[in-house]
């Protein structure tokens, strides 16, 4: 996974990160336009399109981030329940719990001393584990989720930087164009005055 | 937030671009922190209310929510648990507030630098 930090890379190289193209930093607008061979309008159109693509990817990443951020407290709650069951194991008394049968309807359950728990793994699959195995599996899942979230956040930061660079480039190209037109206008009017 | 750069004279160097990028990142983090702080404050208030209710109740066994079920837990244990949860949330809240201060300070620094170079050509305020 290419993840060069943007502060150490030279401004000329366009690095990409996990499929997100990097935005090229423009040192000088005129050189940029002659290098790419585009006129102002095509350059602006290209940059705008890039901006739209970035926005799309941003939506996707934000949705993934929301999912992960919901999953993490879920896993923590499961760990808590397994820990409580383990604690009860020593005492020999049963755990009584009220659970929801349907909306607004609750029933009482008596959970006897036991050594194993069943974990829902998704895709209609539920496996039975011993309490220790369950704890370690849940802990591993929690760590994976947290690590994925970190990577995702770094991706989003990279993406937002590229969006900012593109927005600044659009503004500069546009201003350069306005500046050029003004120069041409003044030189054209002086030429008209002279002739 | 506006980050427009107008003006035809000032050149934007790579360092300027990086400062602008950093400001953008900090601003995003600032908004995220504000949301997180709001949630942490709410959780804190809820725990406060819960422990108050606990003092008022005369039942010996309290239904304590764990995951999706309400387990029957003796009152003392519930008190201890709620105290622990309150500890965790207040520490978290403190950490978030500190981070928010640091982010605001960094943003103020960057504003000085960027306004210094670009003056009116750049807008770093919330719209």
Task: Identify the bridge partners of residue B43 per DSSP, sorted by sequence position.
Answer: none
pLDDT for position A5:
42
> Is the complex ipTM higher than 0.85?
no
A-proximal residues of B, 1-30, CB under 8 Å: 3-8, 11-14, 17-18, 20-21, 24-25, 28
DSSP-assigned beta bridge partners for residue A100: A106
Note the pTM of the prediction, 2 decimals: 0.81
Q: Does domain A28-88+131-168 have CATH number 1.10.287?
A: yes
Distance CA A158, CA A16 (A): 9
- Name which of A28, A97, A106 is nearest B71 (Cβ-Cβ): A97
B71 in contact with chain A, both atoms CB, cutoff 8 A: yes
Look-up: residue for tokens 């990409």? A16
Q: What is the pLDDT of residues A54-100, one digit of tens each?
A: 999 999 999 999 999 999 999 999 998 888 888 888 777 888 899 99
Q: Give contacts of A 7-46 with B, CB under 8 A.
A: 7, 11, 25, 27-28
Question: What tens digit of pLDDT does each residue of A149-179 get?
Answer: 999 999 999 999 999 999 999 999 999 999 9
Tell me which CATH code domain B13-119 carries.
Answer: 1.10.287.370
Going A183 to A189 to A191 to A194, the CA torsion angle's sign is: negative
Q: Do A80 and B67 touch (CB under 8 A)?
A: yes
Sign of CA dihedral B73, B79, B84, B90: positive
Tens of pLDDT, residue by residue over B37-90, are: 999 999 999 999 999 999 998 888 898 888 888 988 889 889 999 999 999 999
Domain map (residue ranges) of chain B: 13-119
For residues A104-121, average pLDDT: 87
Residue of A104, A119, A175, A183 to mutate for B, most B C-beta atoms under 10 A: A175
3-state SS class at B15: helix
Enumerate residues 6+ apart whose C-beta is below 8 A from A10.
Answer: none
Query: What Å distances lie between residue A90 and A83, A120, B18, B41, B67, CA to CA?
Result: 12, 25, 58, 36, 21
What mean pLDDT is reported for chain B?
Answer: 89
Q: Using a CB-CB distance cutoff of 8 angstroms, which residues of chain B are in contact with residue A157?
A: 25
SS3 category, A101? strand
Under an 8 A CB cutoff, do A99 and B68 touch? yes
From the list A11, A95, A164, the residue facing B14 with the nearest CB is A11
Q: What is the DSSP string of B27-81?
A: HHHHHHHHHHHHHHHHHHHHHHHHHHHHHH---SEEEEEETTEEEEEEHHHHHHH
Q: Give the angle A179-B24-A158 at the CA atoms, nearest 5°.
A: 100
Question: Is A6:B24 a contact under the CB 8 Å cutoff?
Answer: no
């Amino acid at each position: 996974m290419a993840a060069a930090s943007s502060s150490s890379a030279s401004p000329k190289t366009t690095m990409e990160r996990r499929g997100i193209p990097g935005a090229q930093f423009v040192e000088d607008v005129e050189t940029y336009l002659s290098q790419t061979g585009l006129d102002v309008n095509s350059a602006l159109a290209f940059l705008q399109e890039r901006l739209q693509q970035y926005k799309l990817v941003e939506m996707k990443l934000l949705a993934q981030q929301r999912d992960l951020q919901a999953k993490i407290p879920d896993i923590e709650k499961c760990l808590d329940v397994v820990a409580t069951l383990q604690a009860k194991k020593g005492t020999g008394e049963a755990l009584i719990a009220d659970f929801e049968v349907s909306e607004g309807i609750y029933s009482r359950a008596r959970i006897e001393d036991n050594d194993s728990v069943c974990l829902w793994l998704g895709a209609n699959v539920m496996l039975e584990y011993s309490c220790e195995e369950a704890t370690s599996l849940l802990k591993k899942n929690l760590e994976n989720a947290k690590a994925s979230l970190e990577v995702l956040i770094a991706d989003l930061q990279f993406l937002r930087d590229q969006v900012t660079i593109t927005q600044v480039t659009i503004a500069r190209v546009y201003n350069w164009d306005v500046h050029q037109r003004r120069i041409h206008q003044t030189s054209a009017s002086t030429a008209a005055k002279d002739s | 937030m506006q980050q427009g750069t107008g003006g035809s004279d000032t050149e934007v160097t790579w360092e300027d671009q990086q400062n602008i990028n950093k400001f953008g990142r900090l601003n995003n983090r600032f908004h995220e922190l504000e949301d997180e702080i709001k949630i942490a404050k709410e959780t804190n208030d809820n725990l406060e209310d819960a422990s108050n209710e606990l003092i008022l109740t005369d039942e010996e066994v309290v239904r304590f929510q764990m995951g999706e079920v309400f387990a029957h837990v003796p009152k003392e244990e519930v008190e201890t648990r709620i105290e622990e949860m309150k500890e965790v949330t207040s520490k978290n809240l403190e950490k978030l507030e500190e981070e928010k201060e640091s982010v605001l300070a960094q943003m103020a620094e960057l504003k000085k630098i960027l306004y210094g170079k670009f003056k009116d050509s750049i807008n770093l305020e919330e719209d």
